[in-house]
A and B are shown apart, each in its own frame.
Chain A
Amino acid sequence: MNVMITGASGGLGRALANECGKRGYNVFLTDINAQGLKSIQLGLERQFGVTVTTAACDLTSDESVDALMSTIDTHRIRFDMLLNVAGLDFEGGFLERERRDIVRIISLNNEATLRITHAILSRRCEGNPFYLLFTSSLASMYPMPLKATYAASKRFLLDIAVALREELKDKQVNVLALCPGGLATTREAMSGIAAQGFWGNATTNPLEIVSKQTIARLLRRGGIYIPGALNRTLTFFGNLLPRRWVAAAIYHRWNKAQKQWSPVEFSAGKTLN
């Protein structure tokens, strides 16, 4: 099994790469962070002895992805699985963020994801089943004031996943949208969880379980995977209410949480899912 993982040197990317390594899959890792790729490559080779290939790539640039694809084509690599993990968010309300930062959220979370997905789907092993993961978020379930762009970008991924799943069924492509709550992947993420107090902890999913279940679900049937019984319950009831009400409730909670939390600790540009 040949697996391509984007955002592979971030917290969720590394955890999924570990899961693939444990299963004996060969992995092709990409990320914008070349140093991080080198480290996770060493870790995977030492732990599992699998074949690890890495290539630093800026997925938001067509040239960079073209270069990556020509390398892949030169070596005639074909894939059985694509795990779309790369994504980002910047903290702060809409008007407090830089204009370019807001657009970058869409460039990476959406545009880049489509770019690499199309490229890798065209390089799948013909005749074999293909497994395609989109990392959406619990944030995709509602409009989220103060995280408006991020939540909308994750909604986009959720809809793409559900639609492509139907469209590509005949071509033996399984599509899964992963919608986790908080994941304790970075210091910043952990401080964000802490800032939300009880609910932050309660909606946080254990990373090792999420990565194991994600691969298992993807292999089995795809669909939408919301880890955690509490998150599933919240989503179920949230969907019964008018979207405006939910948005108002979320605004109330986030506004309170962000006041207690020093966003200075939050370095922009870190991969967050």
Chain B
Amino acid sequence: MKTAVITGASSGIGFATSAELIQKGYHIIGIGHDKTHCEEAEKQLRALSNDTDITFLCGDLMQQREVERIAGEISQLLAERNESRLEVLINNAGCVRSWYTTTEEGYEQQFALNHLASFLLTYRLLPHLKRAQGRVILTGSESHKHMRMRWNDVMLTRGYNPLTAYKQSKLANILFAKGLNERYLGDGITSYVVDPGLVCTDIGCKNTGGLVDWIWSRRKKYGVQPEVPAKTYAFLSETNPAPRELYYHLCKPNNYSCQVTHENADKLFALSEKLCGIQYPSWIQS
């Protein structure tokens, strides 16, 4: 049985994608922030079919020690059941903040959750992904265009703008996927970014505060249902041989920003490795 790890699985796109992959026979390890939401989501997903195989882990991926803990629990689960193989990792959890707020490490929260959490979790799960020739999928956004990395101030401490922080974190997602492909295509691990389009989810209204909350509660009404982008995640997880492009929208490759270069990807890897206290291996020991 194939396994997919999905972060942010208790609602929105992560939830819809879990449902989609359950129907394709995957064992799902879902990760959510809020315990009650996780339990509710698990109940709903179990109702989908009789042999639904799902485990929910609860944790705040913004905090690095929580990522470490969750990664440990995933490894243990995989070792118990699937010969430590992980077919799909979907780094989907994300947030928006109206104000400059920091994690326990003092990192800006959008950068920490939208990018660093994926960076650290993927690193911890690399051996499992290699064993299964797995795929890493990140939730990106069209908004990464017309944006460049603020290398001198990635945490935006000189003056915070919620949209800038969000766009930068989404650009970081593509740079990360590109960097992963440059390093690990040879190991059989393929990485993608999905542009879900405008989707009717609550991302802008979860502990966001301020203006963003108000704007998003109006804007989301024009979005598609999360089941629409969920199809793209399933397409990228299932299609064989693995699709070759980097950035997908509605199951089709799309253009991405000219900022997505080898140099920027390397720079982001170096910075993120420093901020997570890790070093991506040149060769994955599995």
Q: Name A's B-contacting residues (CB within 8 A).
A: 9, 11, 14-15, 17-19, 21-22, 35-36, 39-40, 42-44, 46-47, 184-185, 187, 190, 193-194, 201, 204, 206-209, 212
Stretch at the interface among B133-141, B143-151, B188-196, B208-216: B208-216
Residues of A within 8 A of B209 (CB): 184, 190, 193-194
Cross-chain contact A204 with B99 (CB below 8 angstroms): yes
> Which of B97, B107, B158, B277: most chain A Cβ within 10 A?
B107
- Assess whether B106 is in contact with A47, with CB atoms less than 8 Å apart: yes
- In the assembled complex, the Cα of A201 lies from the Cα of B98 at a distance in Å of 10
Q: For residue B286, give the distance in angstroms from its CB to the closest CB of chain A.
A: 28
The CA-CA distance from A201 to B209 in the complex, in Å, is 9
Question: What residues of A have a CB within 8 angstroms of the CB of B263 in the complex?
Answer: none
What CA separation (Å) do A18 and B105 show in the bound complex? 10
Closest A residue to B100 using CB positions: A208
Rounded to whole Å, the gap between the CB of B95 and the closest CB of chain A is 12
CB pair B101 A40 closer than 8 Å: no
Q: Which 5 A-B pairs have the closest CB atoms?
A: A43-B105, A39-B104, A184-B99, A43-B106, A190-B209
A-B contact sample (5 more), CB < 8 A, given A19-B157, A39-B65, A206-B159: A17-B106, A35-B104, A40-B105, A206-B99, A208-B160
User: Is B157 a contact of A42 with CB atoms below 8 Å?
Assistant: no
Q: Give, as a whole number of angstroms, the nearest-CB distance from A221 to chain B.
A: 23
| B99 x A44 contact (CB < 8 A) | no
The A-contacting residues of B in range 60-98, CB under 8 angstroms, are 63-65, 97-98
CA distance A184 to B213 in the complex (A): 14
Contacts A9-B104, A190-B207 given: A18-B99 contact, CB under 8 Å? no
Contact A207 B100 (CB under 8 A): yes
Judged by a CB distance under 8 angstroms, whether B275 is at the interface is yes
**A18 close to B98 (CB less than 8 A):** no
Beyond A11-B101, A204-B99, whether A44 also contacts B159 by CB under 8 A is: no
B105 lies within 8 A of A22 (CB):
no
CB neighbours of B276 from chain A (8 A) = 46
CB distance from A273 to the nearest CB of B (A): 14
> Is there contact, CB below 8 Å, between B106 and A208?
no
B274 CB–A CB distance under 8 Å: yes
Return the chain A residue nearest B211 by Cβ: A201
Please count the residue pairs between chain A and chain B whose beta carbons lie under 8 angstroms apart in the complex.
88
Chain B residues within 8 Å of A39, by CB: 63-65, 103-106
Contact indicator A184/B157 (Cβ below 8 Å):
no
Say whether B274 contacts A46, CB under 8 Å: yes
B136 CB to nearest A CB, Å? 24
Which residues from A are CB-within-8-Å of B277? 42, 46
- Please give me the residue from chain B that is nearest to A186 by CB atom: B101
**B166 to nearest A CB, angstroms?**
16
Contact of A44 among B100, B101, B106, B156 (CB under 8 A): B106
Would A22 and B99 be within 8 Å (CB), given that A9-B104, A39-B65, A46-B275 are in contact? no
Question: For residue A210, which residue of chain B has the nearest CB?
Answer: B100
Rounded to whole angstroms, the CA-CA distance of A19 and B63 in the bound complex is 20
A4 to B248, CA, bound (A): 49
Decide if B102 is an interface residue (CB 8 Å cutoff): yes
Q: Are A207 and B99 neighbours in the complex by a CB distance under 8 Å?
A: yes
B106 touches A40 (CB 8 A): yes
Mark each residue of chain B from 183 to 209: 1 if its CB lies under 8 Å from any CB of chain A, else 0: 000000000000000000000000101
Q: Which residues of B contact A194 (CB under 8 A)?
A: 209-210, 213
The listed residue (B155, B207, B274) touching A187 by CB distance below 8 A is B207
Whether the pair A36, B104 counts as a contact (CB closer than 8 A) is yes
Instruction: Report which of A18, A35, A206 forms a contact with B106, defined as CB distance below 8 A.
Output: A18
CB distance from B71 to the nearest CB of A (A): 17
Q: Is the CB of B275 within 8 A of A206?
A: no
A46-B274, A194-B213, A201-B210 known; A15 vs B102 contact (CB < 8 Å): yes
> In the complex the two chains form, is B157's CB within 8 Å of A18's CB?
yes
User: Is the CB–CB distance between A190 and B106 below 8 Å?
Assistant: no
Assess whether B101 is in contact with A207, with CB atoms less than 8 Å apart: yes
- CB B63 to nearest CB in A, in angstroms, measures 7
Which residues on the A side are within 8 Å of B65 (C-beta)? Answer: 35, 39
Which A residues are in CB contact (< 8 Å) with B275?
43, 46-47
Complex-state Cα separation, A209 to B107, whole angstroms: 15
Task: Say whether, besides A43-B107, A46-B275, A206 and B102 are in contact (CB < 8 Å).
Answer: no
Q: In the complex, how many angstroms separate the beta carbon of A227 from the nearest chain B beta carbon?
A: 13
Q: How far is the CA of A153 from the CA of B143 in the complex (A)?
A: 46
Which residues of chain B are within 8 angstroms of A206 by Cβ–Cβ distance?
Answer: 99-100, 159-160
Chain B residues closer than 8 Å to A35, beta-carbon distance: 65, 104
List B contacts of A209 (CB < 8 A): 159
Residues of the A chain whose Cβ atoms lie less than 8 Å from the Cβ of B107:
43, 47
Task: Give the shortest distance, in Å, between A251 (CB) and chain B (any CB).
Answer: 25
| 23 A–B contacts from the bound complex (CB under 8 Å) | A11-B102, A18-B102, A18-B106, A18-B157, A39-B64, A39-B103, A39-B106, A40-B105, A43-B106, A43-B275, A46-B277, A47-B107, A187-B207, A190-B101, A194-B210, A194-B213, A201-B210, A206-B99, A208-B100, A208-B156, A208-B158, A208-B160, A212-B158
Docked Cα-Cα span, A39 to B275, in Å, equals 12
Closest B residue to A44 using CB positions: B106
